[in-house]
Structure 1
Amino acid sequence: MALYTHHLPRWKKEEVEAIKRGIEEHALVGVVDMYGIPASQVQQIRRNLRGTATVKMARNTLIEHALNELGGSVAALNDYAEGQSALIFTNENPFKLFKQLEKTKTKMAAKPGETAPEDIVVPKGPTSFKPGPIVGELQQVGIPAVIEGGKVKIREEKTVVKKGETINKKIADALLKLGIKPMDVGLVLQAAYYRGTIFTPDLLSIDEEAYANNIALAAQQAFNLSVNAVIPTSITIGAIIGKAVQEARNVGVEASIYEKDIVDLIIGRAQREMLAVALAAQSHGFELDEATLQAASAATAAAPAAVEAPAEAKSGEEEKEEEKKEEEEESGMAGLGALFG
């Protein structure tokens, strides 16, 4: 027997050995706080965890003996075994265990001397109380109670205790009468040892929705970086080629390079510039014929859609929009001839 336990009674030695076996036979061991949990709820928690985790209640001194005998990094759990502690054994990872333990918690009334886990807020609105001493009791703790319609009513929402503050007896009594149960009661994971690392609640409490959103954002940013930096991957190669094609087309149009795939765009651009000249001339008293006016109206209506989007691979909707604009340009060609004979 190890030196740590040679002086212990037999039953305590057996407890230490049981704790050591639990640690050695499971991937994770955690220290949980049992303070304030009614016996009935402890039994319910055990039933909820059956098949997933085992709760081992033991004295802190015996937990300390077992951890010291095992030695190594697991012995650091001794720093978290304070108050009414117990051990929990499981093969789940610490994040899943933390989430499961949070689900076992229930709301209970506050007791004098307890610390508020969050801001305790009394909502505004009617209560079930008839006029009486309750009004004065609520007002004494800062709750704006009034009598309205034969009932006691809370005039406005009131924060009676801020997070981290101690709940005094008067406030505890008032909250109890109002049916407000601010205390989360259940197994509180103090720390978990998993694969050589100690995990504390601040590391395990994760907003899963925010985490998923961050992953999605990172994936989108990585996609954009790959496309803009021209780093081809199996996922981004299509967008990179599409962007390159679009940029090449834009250069061809701007430089008036007469290539078969863009000559129609060059002509269309020339037509729009011609119509702009025609409208400018009209504003200075130049009369336009009917065909030119119709072409100019069509070009003006299509102008918002003609603003070039960021260079990316075109979707089916964008291709349809481009075809529509090309049709409008072709319908306006008659105006070009009409203006210049």
Structure 2
Amino acid sequence: MALYTAHLPQWKKDEITTIKRLSSEYKLVGLVDMYGIPARQVQDIRRNLRGKAELIMTRNTLIEHAFGEIGGSITDLSSHLSGHSALIFTNENPFKLYSMLEKTKTKMAARPGETAPEDIVVSKGPTSFRPGPIVGELQQAGIPAAIEAGKVTIRETKTVVKAGQEINKKLADALAKLDIKPMDVGLILQAAFYEGSIYESDVLAIDETAFYNSIITAATHAFNLSVNAAYPTRDTASALLTKAVREARGVGVEAAVTSSDIIDAVLGKAQAQAMALQNVVG
């Protein structure tokens, strides 16, 4: 049922109209999480997506209004709205869009209180710092630093925080000074509406290379099964005929059938057997 919007100010009505128009013009409507993305990076993302997708930032309530007025299955997309959602429109399929957005992500320095997306490792070796307070700052952050040959050096490779653990302020400051950027920042596809269905991010995060290799392996197994079972298809007919000819030839040679196609092999086998017998009796 369409939502009542007569009481809304004109600028809100205009935004709802824009959402409805774009939803009808594009095959896919998606929600992306904008949390923690600096304005400068948003501009970079827009530039990278130009010609492939359109990004619209607006209020969640207006998105709900627009989906309600459109009606149908797209209204289910509203349940995936969060505090920092934005809309993305494209004609690509959900898997392609997810892959595109992953490629727009960049590395950024960690901020205090953020969760490590993976184990953060500080590698052994010299740094560009001269001796000074930096040594104590690194040590307080749990990084084994010392002075060697007039420079600050990391004495051993160390995992300073495990995946899923919180990054405290001292460690965040130390990592920033070492130019270690562990955080992936970019648009996160929360859900997408495409051809009448909702696709959530967990089903879209696939390893394309591994998926491709799995298809190749499955096709190879299917081909071999078809050939071994003598099940003819367009793809296996040639291999089946070759296998049948080879096996028929083998049977003919073993049975000493004097066919013009295998007479040379039959005579060759007979000669080999005669020579073997001669060696035994001689």
Aligning the two structures, in what range does the TM-score lie when normalised by the shorter sequence?
A: 0.7 to 0.9
Corresponding position of 1:109: 109
Measured in 1, the distance between the counterparts of 2:86 and 2:17 equals 15
SS at match of 1:35: coil
Q: How does 1:62-81 map to 2 (within 5 A)?
A: 62-81=62-81
Corresponding position of 2:236: 236
Measure how far apart 1:111 and its partner are. 0.4
Corresponding position of 1:196: 196
Gaps of 5+ in 1: 282-338
SS at match of 2:16: helix
Measured in 2, the distance between the counterparts of 1:174 and 1:273 equals 82
Q: How does 1:190-339 map to 2 (within 5 A)?
A: 190-273=190-273
Change (3 A) 1:9 1:277: same
Measured in 2, the distance between the counterparts of 1:123 and 1:4 equals 59
Q: Which residue type is aligned with residue 171 of structure 1?
A: L
Gaps of 5+ in 2: none
Change (3 A) 1:208 1:2: closer
Matched, 1:97 2:97: yes
Q: Which residue type is aligned with residue 84 of structure 1?
A: H
Measured in 1, the distance between the counterparts of 2:273 and 2:76 equals 77
Measured in 1, the distance between the counterparts of 2:181 and 2:130 equals 22
Measured in 2, the distance between the counterparts of 1:111 and 1:3 equals 41
SS at match of 1:37: coil
Q: Which residue type is aligned with residue 118 of structure 1?
A: E
Over residues 1-49 of structure 1, what are the superposed CA-to-partner deviations in whole Å (9 max), with x where a residue is unaligned? 9544344333323322222222122211111111222222222222222
Name the structure, 1 or 2, with higher relative contact order (CA <8 Å, separation 6+).
Answer: 2
Q: How does 1:106-145 map to 2 (within 5 A)?
A: 106-145=106-145
Measured in 2, the distance between the counterparts of 1:40 and 1:65 equals 29
Q: What is the RMSD computed on CA atoms of the aligned residues?
A: 2.5
Q: How does 1:127-166 map to 2 (within 5 A)?
A: 127-166=127-166
Measured in 1, the distance between the counterparts of 2:135 and 2:275 equals 79
Measure how far apart 1:87 and its partner are. 0.7
Matched, 1:18 2:18: yes
Measure how far apart 1:260 and its partner are. 4.0
| 2:30/2:192 contact within 8 Å kept | yes
The 10-residue stretch of structure 1 (81-90 or 39-48) with the greater mean CA deviation from structure 2: 39-48
Matched, 1:36 2:36: yes
Measure how far apart 1:194 and its partner are. 0.7
Q: Which residue type is aligned with residue 86 of structure 1?
A: A
| 2:120/2:162 contact within 8 Å kept | yes
Corresponding position of 1:27: 27
- Larger helix share, 1 or 2: 1
TM-score by length of 1: 0.74
Q: How many residues matched?
A: 282
Q: Which residue type is aligned with residue 43 of structure 2?
A: Q
SS at match of 1:191: strand
Q: Which residue type is aligned with residue 5 of structure 1?
A: T
Corresponding position of 1:185: 185
Measured in 2, the distance between the counterparts of 1:3 and 1:217 equals 51
Q: Which has the larger radius of gyration?
A: 1
| 2:2/2:68 contact within 8 Å kept | no
Measure how far apart 1:246 and its partner are. 1.4
Measure how far apart 1:98 and its partner are. 1.9
Change (3 A) 1:133 1:276: farther
SS at match of 2:83: coil
Measured in 2, the distance between the counterparts of 1:3 and 1:197 equals 22
Q: Which residue type is aligned with residue 94 of structure 1?
A: P
Measured in 2, the distance between the counterparts of 1:108 and 1:71 equals 40
Q: Which residue type is aligned with residue 48 of structure 1?
A: N
